[in-house]
A and B are shown apart, each in its own frame.
Chain A
């Protein structure tokens, strides 16, 4: 059947199982919006295109499906870019669709023209400019395949408005065959056997897991292997939820604001089994001092991640779920880890994660703990970036994958709120909390409008300290407390929430924290809680940038 490009796009999205699109209309996507008007795909009109991109990203992180966002040409498209870069750095499958000026005007500096495929080349896994309506269906099929397979990532499709209007037969390719793109899925059996032998020979093995576990859905295999080896496990920010935090073998997060015992374990281990993690600088600290005694096995789907930062003894390229499954089978001789676990228990006792709680003031860590208590660890937590993010990572115990949603690689302030919105749209029965700072919440506060209009009842907990807290912390520790431009003059967040039709709650006393959280959860509306917390509280422990992992600042006596 012949149909126009806009209709082909929507039909193709339906074929891909797309249930919701986050976006914003404009001149060069009018034909698409005309089709959307009566299509059975939900459309969420955000208040800013950046919100749409983050929402699609949050939706994807919560559900595992490909998130979709849509914007017009020029400023619409460029407003998506932070969201696209964010998804790229964290390997989140997303398809961004942009309108473009008519194909014969491209390159003419036409109204609202931007070379968005040029702009996004280095922040997308791949991108397309569609120049022939007959290529459109195939392009969309490929885009979804590329976004979700291998190491996932965002793919952008730029569609000139005349292509949206031209007609073609809708032919849906059943198979995707891209000769230049064949991601490896199964690991090399010989390498897996070698890894098993190396693990058997170790005395102090440590599993270091990352976001790849969650992407691959390998958390069951990871748990099975960890328990079989009786080995301690630590994870990255992106790996939070890949293994139950309440498990006795768990060391929590490692790295700059990781637990002291996880960092000590890295420095003492004789074997590191890295799975779906990429030895980011926030994890390794000073590279030449990282894990000095350890042999390294690295399982990753992306060959470029292997031996990029840390020299690897046994690389295994492929999907974590497949490889861990095989590794479990190949492990016949289990190393004796009892001594090693005793050492770690000692560190756990000696340097636990802690903060100095006070009766007369609200500690931000306390708020996070209370959210954990109130939600029984079953909520989806999104975060902004900075202190709020680290406290949310440290003080909520995540036992399930896809329950911690945070901007890891790019560190995007303003991510958490629209991401919470996307997560809630994907999983409407879940309680979704955005743990925010007073600075970062204001970077996409306009999405309150979207949430209220669409009854996306997310809860926002602002840890309001009146500062851009993480930058202030660095200024305190490394710039002689010269707080250059890190104090915030904030609006009345309660009134602000109310003006949007949401519920605002202000909490200034510690004893009011639990009931405010209860009220937020039980209120059938968008709720924003403004917690006035200790102003100059710091995130500890902390490894200063460029220091070895065991050079932590503990912060507390």
Chain B
């Protein structure tokens, strides 16, 4: 099962290597990872989506992360009110005769085309996992040639 967790870390060189090293050394999987500076430039905020077969592994992941000296705090969003978003860019097959069909898909889901070329279009959408899934489903008919995802970011509601 996938779990979204956020991690506050010291904004120092090598911290990301410590985290990725921990995951590879202990055989944990990272499904996605997004990192950026916070308002306090000495702290970075990571949102990670991790794969954990069971509660025991998830617990270990959280504890092992906490054990790293440069990690300030770990928050597990599994049972916590939070908002998640991910940005995607999708390149699809497109010609002008597809315009109406594409617009109807985009309008329904709230995505937009950032570029329409002679044989491809680039679609952008920001949303939660269900919305992204719905969009990708809708875009299938055009043929998705390339897909880039930012990785999830999440913030707690409290």
Contacts and interface: CB of A to CB of B under 8 A. Distances in A.
Interface of A: 117-118, 121-122, 125-126, 129, 146, 178-181, 302-304, 307-308
Contacts of A302: 67
30 contacts: A117-B14, A118-B17, A121-B14, A121-B17, A121-B18, A121-B21, A122-B22, A122-B25, A125-B69, A126-B69, A129-B14, A146-B69, A178-B69, A179-B72, A180-B9, A180-B10, A180-B69, A180-B70, A180-B71, A180-B72, A181-B69, A302-B67, A303-B63, A303-B66, A304-B60, A304-B63, A304-B67, A307-B56, A307-B59, A308-B60
A304 B59 CA distance: 8
Contacts, number: 34
Interface string B35-72: 00000000000000000000010011001101101111
A284 to B, nearest CB: 16
Nearest to B70: A180
Given A122-B22, A129-B14, 20 more contacts: A117-B14, A121-B14, A121-B17, A121-B21, A122-B21, A125-B69, A146-B69, A179-B72, A180-B10, A180-B69, A180-B70, A180-B71, A181-B69, A302-B67, A303-B63, A303-B67, A304-B60, A304-B64, A304-B67, A307-B59
A126 B9 CA distance: 14
Interface string B1-41: 00000000110001001100110010000000000000000
A146 B70 CA distance: 12
B47 to A, nearest CB: 18
A271 B16 CA distance: 42
Contacts of A304: 60, 63-64, 67
A129 B17 CA distance: 14
A178 B68 CA distance: 12
A247 to B, nearest CB: 35
Interface of B: 9-10, 14, 17-18, 21-22, 25, 56, 59-60, 63-64, 66-67, 69-72
A266 B64 CA distance: 28
A308 B67 CA distance: 14
Contacts of B63: 303-304
B23 to A, nearest CB: 11
A304 B26 CA distance: 12
A303 B66 CA distance: 9
B5 to A, nearest CB: 16
A179 B18 CA distance: 18
Contacts of B14: 117, 121, 129
Contacts of A125: 69
A292 B21 CA distance: 35
Contacts of B72: 179-180
Contacts of A303: 63, 66-67
Nearest to A128: B14
Contacts of B64: 304
A434 B56 CA distance: 41
Nearest to B55: A307
Nearest to A124: B69
Contacts of B67: 302-304
Nearest to B26: A122
A129 B12 CA distance: 11
Among A118, A125, A178, A304, chain B packs the most CB atoms within 10 A around the CB of A304
Nearest to A142: B69
Among A146, A178, A180, A308, chain B packs the most CB atoms within 10 A around the CB of A180
B126 to A, nearest CB: 31
Contacts of B59: 307
Contacts of A307: 56, 59
A125 B22 CA distance: 12
B39 to A, nearest CB: 16
B144 to A, nearest CB: 38
A125 B59 CA distance: 20
Nearest to B67: A304
A180 B71 CA distance: 6
Closest 9 pairs (CB-CB, A-B) = A126-B69, A180-B72, A304-B63, A303-B63, A122-B25, A181-B69, A121-B21, A304-B64, A304-B67
Contacts of A122: 21-22, 25
Nearest to A117: B14
Contacts of B71: 180
Contacts of B22: 122
A134 to B, nearest CB: 16
Contacts of A118: 17
Contacts of A121: 14, 17-18, 21
